[in-house]
Copies of this chain bind each other. A is one copy, B any other.
Amino acid sequence: MAEEKSFHMTPDEFRRHGHAVVDWIADYHSRIESFPVLSQVKPGEIRASLPATPPAQGEPFDVLLKDVEKLILPGVTQWQSPNFFAYFPCNASGPGILGDLLSSGLGVQGMLWSTSPACTELETHVLDWLVTMLGLPEKFLSSSTGGGVIQDTASSAALCALLAARERATNYASNQKGCDGRIVAYASTQTHSSLQKAAMIAGIGVDNLRLIEVDENFAMRPDSLARQIEIDKNAGLVPCFVCATVGTTSSNAMDPIPKIARICREHNLWLHVDAAMSGTAALCPEFRHFQEGVELADSYNFNPHKWMFTNFDCSCFWVADRKALIQTLSILPEYLRNQATESGAVIDYRDWHIQLGRRFRSLKLWFVIRHYGIEGLQHHIRQHVQLAQGFAECVRNDSRFELAAPVPLNLVCFRHKAGDAANQTIMDRINRSGDLFLTHTKLNGKFTLRLCVGQTNTQARHVEKAWKRICQEAAKLTPG
């Protein structure tokens, strides 16, 4: 039969253009240190270079790829540069990129087990692997009462945990009747901002998310938490949820999980542990003490897309009681009914997160774990921690600077002693130079520089250069 007219790319064209894109990416990674890490464009500059109207006719693929080089690349902040020390990392790696490419090529939508059994089963399997790899409690295994799921981000994971807690506290009634304004949740003043967003989304309200004060190491004070819960209970409110953090975004502070967990047990509150960045460190047994107490948590989250070389998005979320989560998020319209679901023998991950549709995300995670092996992952995590500790030592040994917080792992918070303006100047000059990219936070009201060692390809020479550049800028400061 004659083929119909088609504008689609044929498999042979795909092969040719696909090789060109792969080559472009390989070249890009080879020359990545030649670009300014922080994009130097001004607002509107990228848009101004794009045609105002969409193309009426299709264009050759070569033109598209040239435009990525010419029009897009100047507007890219190089998250994959080994000189990227800002925020937390958002790592890519060869196996991560290629696993993701296979996911795009297969193009499956794994909302139900039956819509691609491999998408669901590989995910369950790899998340069970990770329970072992990270030394997490057995209750998070799918063979126990719990189980894991890949979410897009830690924000969504925290929201799901909060929702499950809300439902548990209200005997699943709020599903029907809506919130009644009495639900209260707890985090520390240093907890990630996504918890505030989750409280807004869940209809709990930001005022009903109590931000508990922290100690001198920026860790949540359990005594303050216990006191606030008592106050709220006495006021007739319904405490339901606590988020403890393993490695806060601001300063990598470690909340005391065992003490917090005991308070949660006493008052029957859902304990969520957010280890978005630092959770990866638990691959190495010597760093697992930071997550002590996680065996008492109701849910746990860490992001392989941050520090475990797995392309964004990939955020692993476990619960101890999968029924509590599913009951919170389950819907079953007729058009999604199927025999496998009715049998109860399968997991339908659409009931484990906000979205219905879902990508085959476990492929990239599986590829990363198999490419590196536990040995390779541990090697690079240890290397990053060692480099960050070395940097902290440089700060400690330089009388112009001071550390602003403990350095448990790979984030160094530090400042020049000359005050906020001096630190802002150092950061702005370095970032404008494009040599490296640093960001800041405020600790005890003071402007503080953050240097996070976690980008896939960061080695000793990059951290050494970072310290050298910081010292250069410090030397240029006019004595105040």
Q: Contact check: which of B43, B206, B340 meets A175 at CB < 8 Å?
A: B206
Interface locus among A125-133, A212-220, A255-263, A391-399: A125-133
Interface residues of A in 290-311 (CB under 8 A from B): 305, 309, 311
A21 proximity list for chain B (CB < 8 A): 22, 98, 101-102, 105
Q: Which residue of B lies closest to A335 (CB)?
A: B441
23 contacts between A and B (CB under 8 A): A7-B373, A8-B309, A19-B19, A25-B101, A25-B105, A45-B117, A57-B373, A61-B98, A68-B102, A77-B114, A79-B115, A80-B106, A97-B105, A107-B311, A156-B355, A178-B203, A178-B205, A178-B208, A201-B329, A250-B334, A250-B335, A312-B359, A335-B441
> Which of A222-230, A364-372, A472-480 lies on the face that meets chain B?
A364-372
Residues of B with C-beta under 8 A to A332: 193
| A15 located at the interface, meaning its Cβ lies under 8 Å from any Cβ of chain B in the complex | yes
Whether a CB of chain B sits under 8 angstroms from the CB of A266 is: no
Interface residue from B56, B197, B313 paired with A329 (Cβ < 8 Å): B197
| A286 interfacial by beta-carbon distance below 8 Å | no
- Set of chain B residues within 8 Å of A355, measured between Cβ atoms: 152-153, 155-156, 313
In this assembly, does A418 line the interface, its C-beta being within 8 Å of a C-beta of chain B?
no
Please measure, in the bound complex, the distance between the C-alpha atom of A363 and the C-alpha atom of B68, giving whole angstroms.
9
Q: Assess whether A176 is in contact with B95, with CB atoms less than 8 Å apart.
A: no
Q: Which of A267-275, A317-325, A375-383, A400-408 contacts B (4 or more CB under 8 A)?
A: A375-383
User: 3 shortest A-B CB distances, which residue pairs?
Assistant: A203-B203, A9-B94, A75-B118
CA distance A67 to B169 in the complex (A): 44
* Contact B39–A118 (Cβ < 8 Å): yes
Bound Cα distance A115, B79 (Å): 8
With A107-B90, A312-B109, A331-B196 as known contacts, state yes or no: A75 contacts B373, CB within 8 Å.
no
Is the CB–CB distance between B200 and A121 below 8 Å? no
Tell me how many chains of this kind the complex includes. Answer: 2
Chain A 61-81 near chain B by CB (<8 Å), digits 1 or 0: 101100010011111110110
**Pair B46/A118 contact, Cβ less than 8 Å:** yes
CA distance A192 to B110 in the complex (A): 18
Bound-complex Cα distance A172 to B98 (A) = 44
Number of interface residues of A (CB under 8 A): 171
Distance from A36 Cβ to chain B, minimum over Cβ atoms (Å): 12
Question: How far apart are the CA atoms of A166 and B202 in the complex, in Å?
Answer: 11
CB-based contact A118/B72 at 8 Å: yes
Query: Given A4-B459, A19-B19, A178-B183, A107–B92 Cβ distance below 8 Å?
Result: yes
- Complex CA distance for A70 and B309, rounded to whole angstroms: 25
Cβ–Cβ < 8 Å partners of A375 in chain B: 7, 56-58
Q: Which residue of B lies closest to A198 (CB)?
A: B354
Q: A7-B380, A371-B58, A376-B7 are in contact. Are A121 and B177 (CB under 8 A)?
A: no
* B50 in contact with A122 (CB, 8 Å): yes
C-alpha spacing A369/B387, complex, angstroms: 45
B91 touches A54 (CB 8 A): no
Task: Check if A181 is an interface residue, CB within 8 A of chain B.
Answer: yes
Residue of B nearest to A374 (CB): B56
- A170 CB to nearest B CB, Å: 10
Given A25-B102, A97-B105, A345-B43, does the pair A335, B440 have CB atoms closer than 8 Å?
A: yes
Most chain B CB within 10 A, of A50, A56, A106, is at: A106
**Docked complex Cα distance between A374 and B44 (Å):** 25
